[in-house]
A = this chain, B = another copy of it.
């Protein structure tokens, strides 16, 4: 959509993840260039969340290699063995990514403003005053003026999710990760969060988004990646992946959405 460089910001190589004996990721390769918006789709249990959580090491992979912005955050390629990256280093590289969770995961004991300033002040040790100015700007961008001093519980789901986005952005991340950011929302509130994400994408932010909102995916994505049983089964333009699926599983996956979409035909026809 906007200008894209071809400088890779995120590189995942042959990533494997097991929970006990269950292989959840089986050699995922994925590169995301600066400014790109990649949407990750796949059936429930295919490993979308797990992959996203590996990128900032919320899950520790069993093998493979991840680098972000040229810095290795995880390396356990078969030949080298796991090379220990110091935890402080991991935390530093981690804060180059911002993550938005399905359940918002706002800090319920803090005001909206404190939620946003917490990271920069505590982790990056920036002065609270400066951070607050930026936080207010971010909240305003998200359409949340006047809510700064409320508790998260006093906000609607859509508002909470926008606070979560502001919280992540306050850390100046180079890469934003979204895990089904609208699936816990009342349907009427989905639109406002998608709008905020679109605006972010237009501003040139690099994003990896897990979503079931295929219409939104089609609109926003530079690339759509289909994950199937822990491997990348399709990777291409939204048009190719969503409208002309070839992989049989992808086909049946996309078709289920077409059925539901079909039911909306009357709505589109009247407008």
| Contact surface of A with B, Cβ cutoff 8 Å | 43-44, 156, 183, 186-191, 194, 212-216, 218-219, 242-244, 253, 256-268, 270-271
With A215-B262, A242-B267, A262-B271 given, can you name 6 additional A-B contacts, CB distance below 8 Å?
A188-B257, A214-B264, A215-B260, A215-B265, A215-B266, A261-B267
Dominant secondary structure of chain A at its interface with chain B: helix
* A263 and B218 within 8 A (CB): yes
Q: Quote the shortest CB–CB distance from A144 to chain B (angstroms).
A: 18
The CA of A156 and the CA of B260, in the complex, are separated in Å by: 19
The CA of A265 and the CA of B267, in the complex, are separated in Å by: 10
From B191, B212, B218, A267 is in contact (CB under 8 Å) with: B218
What residues of B have a CB within 8 angstroms of the CB of A188 in the complex?
A: 43-44, 212, 253, 256-257
The CA of A270 and the CA of B214, in the complex, are separated in Å by: 14
Question: 11 A-B Cβ contacts within 8 A?
Answer: A187-B256, A187-B257, A188-B256, A191-B259, A214-B267, A215-B262, A215-B265, A242-B266, A243-B266, A258-B271, A261-B264
Given known A186-B44, A188-B43, A243-B270, contact A263–B219 (CB-CB < 8 A): yes
What residues of B have a CB within 8 angstroms of the CB of A43 in the complex?
A: 188
* A268 and B267 within 8 A (CB): no
What residues of B have a CB within 8 angstroms of the CB of A258 in the complex?
A: 267, 271
What residues of B have a CB within 8 angstroms of the CB of A253 in the complex?
A: 188
* A215 and B268 within 8 A (CB): no
* A191 and B256 within 8 A (CB): yes
